[in-house]
Structure 1
Amino acid sequence: MATSSTSHRLQSVQLDEDSLAAASRDQEQERQIAIFDLLEDNYFAPEGANGGPYDLHMGLMDNRLVLDVRASGYERRHILSLSPFRSLIRDYFMICESYFQAIRNATPAQIEVLDMGRRGLHNEASELLMTRLKGKIETDLDTSRRLFTLICALYRRG
């Protein structure tokens, strides 16, 4: 699986404005960086599609994640339950909050410990997302990590 294949990649990502909560400066920056990084380098291969690039619209509906994927001649909606992600998202929010507070007044060693925990949770959630998307959309770990960041941005409101 090669990243940045011109046929299996996202060219745009849009978050449903109705699903987004007001965000802190740190949260908004994290969201914008995730979208920028996602568009710069991603692997995104929906099952049954002839090729992209793809446009992705993400939102929440009845506490489920909605992924609308479109490309020339291809349009599909995937709906995923967020239940398997709830404890990971809750723990991720808690450690991110501690991390952002630590950046302002903790020692480098304390920040590093929190960052390692944050990355570990992020990886665990990203692997779960890849598993939940199996048979629907194939991604690589970096793409899944960035998508999880955006899921968190949407979930914050719920």
Structure 2
Amino acid sequence: MEEGELKDTDHLIDIQLDEVTFVRRRPEVEHERAVAIFDLLEDNHFGIKGFQGPFRLVLSLAENRLLFDIRDGEDKPLRKVILSLRPFRMIVKDYFMICESYFSAIRSMTPAQIEAIDMGRRGLHNEGGAVLKERLAGKVVVDHDTARRLFTLICVLHARG
């Protein structure tokens, strides 16, 4: 299944982060999580060959792996996709560093300085989304924006405190 083959029903109607991996996070990180989930549920393209959506998704981290627990609209398990976290490590690390700079910048820097940092942040976000889309290829089909928002949630799962 390719991105162009997605049907109107191929989308997420619910997304959860596994409570086992949930920790209390800074308000900025919680805001990123809430916005990513809201945006995902408002507009996403998510499909699995051989299954018809809509889908529910539980994301979790387990043993240095990212787990996509994909369910149908009635919450019946359909497929679990497990991805190594190794390809994401450097991007997530860089993303956290630039987010720290961004969160500090919005408190004290000029709009031009904030925009420069935000451009870097968006670039890393795009890179993370592209890596995720590539890693999901052959298992799950997502569009660019859905991959970017899911990458945000991967970063949230990595956040500690």
TM-score for both structures, normalised by structure 1: 0.93
Q: Could you say what secondary structure the match of 2:36 adopts? A: helix
Gaps of 5+ in 2: none
Partner amino acid, structure 2, of 1:53: P
Question: Could you tell me how far apart the structure 2 residues matched to 1:74 and 1:101 are?
Answer: 42
Q: Could you say what secondary structure the match of 1:93 adopts? A: helix
Q: Which runs of structure 1 show a deviation greater than 6 angstroms over 4 or more consecutive aligned residues? A: none
CA RMSD of aligned residues (A): 1.9
Matches within 5 A, 1:118-157: 118-157=121-160
Shift of 1:5: 4.7
Question: Could you tell me how far apart the structure 2 residues matched to 1:150 and 1:115 are?
Answer: 18
Instruction: Say which of 32, 40, 43 aligns to 1:41.
Output: 43
Shift of 1:21: 2.6
TM-score for both structures, normalised by structure 2: 0.92
Matches within 5 A, 1:1-158: 1=3, 5-49=7-51, 51-71=52-72, 75-157=78-160
Question: Could you tell me how far apart the structure 1 residues matched to 2:55 and 2:115 are?
Answer: 36
Preserved contact between residue 21 and residue 153 of structure 1 (Cα < 8 Å) = no
Residue-by-residue CA offset, 1:98-126 (whole Å, 9 max, x unaligned):
00110011011110110000000000110
Q: Could you say what secondary structure the match of 1:14 adopts? A: strand
Gaps of 5+ in 1: none
Q: Could you say what secondary structure the match of 2:15 adopts? A: strand
